[in-house]
Chains A and B, each alone.
Chain A
Amino acid sequence: MSLSRPIEPIPFAASSGTAAFGRTLLGIAALIVVAFVLWWGFFFLRDSNAPKLVIAGAAIVWGAAGLAYIYLGLAWLVGRMPLGWRVRLEPFVFVGPGILTVFYFLALPTVRTFIASLFNRDGTVFIGLANYVSVLTEPFMLVTFRNNLMWLIFGAGLTVVFGLLVATLADRSRHENLVKAIVFMPMAISLVGAGVIWKFIYAVKDESEAQIGLLNAIVVAFGGEPQAWIAQLQPWNNLFLIVIVVWLQTGYAMVLFSAAIKSVPTELLEAARIDGAGEVRIFFQIIVPSIMGMIITVTATVIIFTLKIFDVVIVMTGGNFGTDVIATQFYNQYFVNRNFGLGSTIAIVLLILVTPVVVYNLRQFRKSELR
């Protein structure tokens, strides 16, 4: 990944005369009209009580068509300017809206959240780093961090292991595509939907009744007692939530590993086989080292995903029974307890935790740019 060398603009003969000037004026007028319609559309879309599909349709026209028109109109306008101005302004027509949007929705809020984290619960009194002290010392936060650590070790770890296992085995099977489609399928399911699916597996009924949850039915069939899996056995109940995300994410890891394994040169594998190396040895000494880059990439992605995990915990336990994680704690502190300072601090802690990956990505980016 590197930034490509831009192409040099070529001056072309700008048409002159009053006709061209008139057209330019007309273009500006059209742009102003469209901008006005978009502005009005904003209020229409915000305040309208029209049926959903009408609003959605209007929005697609408003957003997509209006946006495209703005781009095309501005680019056209800039294209009519003298060469110097054209070269200077044209790039901003292309990248400006994107940069501004990302700046407003992601970059600026990071600063604003950091500032909020230095204030008290309703944002009126500056309290310095006091929120950070409570985040690192409060017992409920320590439970939260312990849970996130479990998510990291078991969630990310098992996802990578299962992804590698399925990718390697499927590569040797005639039913590769079927297997991959089945393991990949949960990727299309929302975490909320996955929560419902697994809650049904963990469902528990009184001992005197028939168990309708698969796990308890198996336990009872073998003579055990039904358990409330996600409420008891703390902190190990977290593992029953982690299983859900492993089930969901293994497909992602598998697809990327599978692509990487296919690019390992076959000559290398065949040479090893001729030398009498077993399949297990080939896996650990040839395949794993060759796809190490991909393993790091997938692990980093999965770690970030598990660090931010929210939906599953909210749906399964709401953070009760000692299952809170950073993202649910953020939600509970900010929106339920209305402690704005502490909530913002937790968000910043989450940001700090992903920073190593950010730095790694940037380093990769810079390295490839030098080439």
Chain B
Amino acid sequence: MRPAQEQRSGRFVVNLVLAILCILWLLPTFGVFVSSFRTRDDVQATGWWTVLPHRQWVTVERIAPGEVDPSGAMSFAGVTGTFEELRRGVTAPDGRRVVWMGNRRRGEVVVQESQWISNANFTLRNYADVLTGKQYEIVDADGNKYTLQGDNLAGAFLNSLAVTVPSVFLPLIIAAFAAYGFAWMDFPGRRFAFAAMVALLVVPLQIALVPVLSDYVHLRLNGTYLAIWLAHTGFGLPLAIYLLYNYIAALPREIFEAATVDGASHLKIFTLIVAPLATPVLASYAIFQFLWVWNDYLVALIFIGSQPDVQVITMRLAEIVGSRGNDWHLLTAGAFISMILPLVIFFSLQRYFVRGLIAGSVKA
């Protein structure tokens, strides 16, 4: 092969592999997205991909078998076959198919035609049902009415917001001051304290949950917003300090020397010079912490526990999985509601997030 040709075929292979990977990565979320708009009965009966046009056997006629002997050969709609053959379906000369539904004693014969169809009935009902905290009625395929309790994801969504926003700002403020202190001030134990922060970066949360929980129980803090704000602040601080420190310590030294010579105090330098300069890294950490807290399940599970009016959205979703794991129409809608805000933030601020990730990886 000539080099140019080789390059072209090489690029084709690269793009092909990438396309396959992208489909693999998108398909799971896409299936949930499509299913969340399908009706309850459709989700239960057919796969989400059947919303695409496809050939399928469609019943065009139903015949009551009447008095026939199921042990011998039987004739319906122009085809003849034994019970076993009819159970599997017998194809008529005109391309139609005749199938015996049910068992030997009670059953019916259906005549089916292969047609192009798509099960594209879309609805917003799932979202309404899973968001509401009130009761609602459903009618199943046989016409029976049921009254069900809504899952109140709207309330859980607000709880998640109420938990997340302060849990982002509290560590941000504390870490900004601390990072400045570590970077530009001298005090005894500075190296040791910073080394401890680096060590605590990767310490598993599990180690801290129980002692903090027992203090919370004594303070009657458990199950309150305050409990979880403080917990997320404490657990998020090492990364925040580390990330902000790397940025603030790399600011040019001359700025600080000039400002000090001009008589500016540390507080002035911090508020007037460093904080504005550090905006990009503050944004990086804020997004990082936002996604972390919004998506957190463990910390909420431990410190909010079974307080239904404080439960965050990940907890509600996990509960629905446990209690009605086959209600896929609700689960898919619920999953999407829980994903929508992080996805919006993520895609609109991806640049900052990526920058933060790269800065946060402990450089080797």
| Chain A residues close to B by CB (< 8 Å) | 1, 3-10, 12, 42, 45-46, 52-53, 55-56, 59-60, 63-64, 67-68, 71-72, 75-76, 79, 88, 90-95, 97-99, 101-102, 104-110, 112-113, 116, 162, 165-166, 169-170, 172-173, 175, 178-179, 181-193, 195-201, 203, 209-214, 217, 247, 250, 252, 255-256, 259, 279, 293-294, 296-298, 300-301, 304, 307-308, 310-311, 314-315, 318, 327, 330-331, 334-335, 340, 343-344, 346-348, 350-351, 354, 357-358, 361-362, 364-366, 369
What 7 pairs across the A-B complex have the smallest Cβ distances?
A: A105-B234, A98-B178, A94-B181, A190-B295, A56-B162, A95-B181, A188-B346
* Cross-interface CB contact of B177 among A97, A108, A192, A343, cutoff 8 Å: A97
Cα separation A44 to B266 with both chains bound (whole Å): 34
**Beyond A67-B170, A172-B11, A214-B28: 12 further Cβ-contacts under 8 Å?**
A1-B362, A4-B253, A7-B253, A59-B162, A91-B185, A97-B177, A109-B211, A185-B25, A190-B338, A213-B47, A279-B10, A314-B297
How many residues on chain B are close to A (CB under 8 Å)? 128
Task: Decide yes or no whether B73 CB sits under 8 A from chain A.
Answer: no
Chain B min CB distance to A353 (Å): 8
Cα separation A210 to B267 with both chains bound (whole Å): 68
Q: From A259, which residue of chain B is reached at the shortest CB distance?
A: B358
Cα separation A247 to B191 with both chains bound (whole Å): 39
Given A102-B197, A365-B195: A110 touches B267 (CB 8 Å cut-off): no
User: CB within 8 Å of A: which of B293-343?
Assistant: 294-298, 302, 314, 317-318, 321-322, 325, 328, 331-332, 334-335, 338-339, 342-343
- Could you list some 29 contacts between A and B, CB below 8 A? A3-B194, A6-B183, A45-B226, A52-B158, A55-B162, A60-B169, A79-B267, A95-B182, A99-B193, A101-B237, A102-B197, A165-B21, A166-B18, A169-B14, A173-B11, A175-B18, A179-B22, A181-B350, A182-B26, A193-B295, A197-B28, A209-B45, A298-B361, A330-B206, A340-B210, A347-B206, A350-B206, A354-B203, A358-B202
Q: From B230, which residue of chain A is reached at the shortest CB distance?
A: A105
Residues of A within 8 A of B294 (CB): 190
Residues of A within 8 A of B350 (CB): 181, 184
Residues of A within 8 A of B207 (CB): 106, 109-110, 113, 347-348, 350-351
Contact A181 B347 (CB under 8 A): yes
Given A196-B317, A358-B203: A99 touches B22 (CB 8 Å cut-off): no
* Cross-interface CB contact of B47 among A112, A178, A196, A211, cutoff 8 Å: A211
Given A183-B22, A193-B335: A308 touches B11 (CB 8 Å cut-off): no
Contact B332 A196 (CB under 8 A): yes
Q: From A13, which residue of chain B is reached at the shortest CB distance?
A: B263
Binds A, one of B76-84, B121-129, B142-150, B217-225: B217-225
Contact B25 A297 (CB under 8 A): no
Cα separation A17 to B308 with both chains bound (whole Å): 59
Task: Decide yes or no whether B159 CB sits under 8 A from chain A.
Answer: yes
Best-buried of A184, A213, A364 by chain B (most CB within 10 Å) = A184
